[in-house]
Homo-oligomer: A and B are copies of this chain.
Amino acid sequence: MALTLGEIVAAIPGELHGDPAVAIEGLAPLESAGPGQLAFLSNPRYRPQLAASRAACVIVGPAVRDAAVARGACIVAEDPYAYFARVTQLWKRTQGRPAPGGIHPSAVIDPEAVLGEGVAIGPHCVVERGARIGAGTVLKARVHVAEDCSIGARCILHPGVVIGADGFGFAPTAEGMVKIEQLGAVRIGDDVEIGANSCIDRGALADTVIEDGVKIDNLVQIGHNCRVGRHTVISGCTGVAGSATIGAHCMIGGAAMILGHITIGDRVHISGGTFVSKSISKPGLYTAIFPIDDNASWEKNAATLRQLHTLRERIKALEKKL
């Protein structure tokens, strides 16, 4: 199951320095790669590890060409990280263990659902009436696609994903909450990946929309009538409350929480653990994390924080006196 360097650059064009007949038996991080393994150097932070690496070959960018050639075999690529990503895909394809395709007999597919060509649906999935799954999309296992929801082409939905459960809508009355039936659906574009046990709720009146190329990690909740723009990346444990709009090419860190009914513009980056409580229009990195400390120090600072406003008043008073 090895690949030669020559086979790799034939499949993924790159500038090979070294013997094309060298066999690669695995991929590994630069630091731990041994003979027979292919590594990559993308982040300049790891540059010092290059000279000492025992890797059979290293994928590098043009700026590192000379040092890499001096060390030994290397593949120079404009974007070494993207090149490495493509090598992982090549590697997976050539390991002779293709993913099972077709519809697993334990999946429950409504006869009124529409499946594109080459769709793979794993064990215990449920695809309801009127759902549409685009060509080449993979529902790994135990994925639920509810009534009338649509998923584009070449998507990957990991185990336990729930698409199109009811949005969370109730009218409060004296006799309790009255359910607002969720009459919209979910529309997911092409090349979207959704992590294990994540949920995307159906819209109340209009649809919830996930645009092309969006990548969503595990245990993420997207509320009803949200819209997530093209190529946005949402890390695990994040919640997006109903009717929030997130722009294109955003990066949302893990365990972030986005308030409902707000709008985040394109190319906004949100740090993990950040609660986004208001709309953000300007690209950039935004953060809201309480800084961690040993518990005793935290306690003192937290107690003072609850009186921060009065501290300001005391400073004002001092300034007046002087």
CB-CB under 8 A from A301, the residues of chain B are 305-309
Contact of A295 among B273, B287, B308 (CB under 8 A): B287
Contact with B along A97-130 (1 / 0, CB 8 A): 1000000101010000000000000111010010
CB-CB under 8 A from A49, the residues of chain B are none
Q: Are B290 and A290 in contact (CB under 8 A)?
A: yes
CB-CB under 8 A from A272, the residues of chain B are 241, 257, 259, 275
> How many Å from the CB of A238 to the closest CB on chain B?
8
Return 5 A-B CB contacts under 8 Å, by A number. A85-B171, A89-B178, A275-B292, A277-B289, A311-B312
Bound CA span A183–B37, Å: 13
Q: Are B28 and A205 in contact (CB under 8 A)?
A: yes
Q: Is A61 an interface residue (CB 8 A)?
A: no
Q: Are A176 and B191 in contact (CB under 8 A)?
A: yes
CB-CB under 8 A from A91, the residues of chain B are 181, 183
Q: Are B205 and A29 in contact (CB under 8 A)?
A: yes
> How many Å from the CB of A122 to the closest CB on chain B?
7
Q: Are A197 and B295 in contact (CB under 8 A)?
A: no
Q: Are B275 and A290 in contact (CB under 8 A)?
A: yes
Contact of A293 among B97, B217, B287, B292 (CB under 8 A): B287
Q: Are B293 and A306 in contact (CB under 8 A)?
A: yes
Give 19 new A-B contacts, CB below 8 A, not counting A82-B172, A85-B180, A97-B147: A106-B106, A106-B108, A108-B123, A108-B141, A124-B124, A142-B144, A158-B166, A166-B193, A168-B215, A177-B213, A199-B236, A219-B239, A237-B239, A255-B275, A257-B272, A275-B292, A287-B293, A289-B290, A315-B315
Task: Pick the most buried of A276, A278, A297, A301: most chain B CB atoms within 10 A of its CB.
Answer: A301
Contact of A213 among B169, B176, B254, B275 (CB under 8 A): B176
Bound CA span A257–B254, Å: 8
Q: Are A165 and B171 in contact (CB under 8 A)?
A: no
Task: Pick the most buried of A123, A179, A199, A231: most chain B CB atoms within 10 A of its CB.
Answer: A199
CB-CB under 8 A from A212, the residues of chain B are 176
CB-CB under 8 A from A166, the residues of chain B are 156, 158, 193, 195
- Give the 3 A-B residue pairs with the shortest CB-CB distance, closest first: A237-B239, A273-B275, A85-B171
Bound CA span A200–B273, Å: 19
Known A142-B142, A305-B308, A315-B311; judge A122-B129 contact (CB<8 A).
Answer: no
Task: Pick the most buried of A86, A197, A278: most chain B CB atoms within 10 A of its CB.
Answer: A197
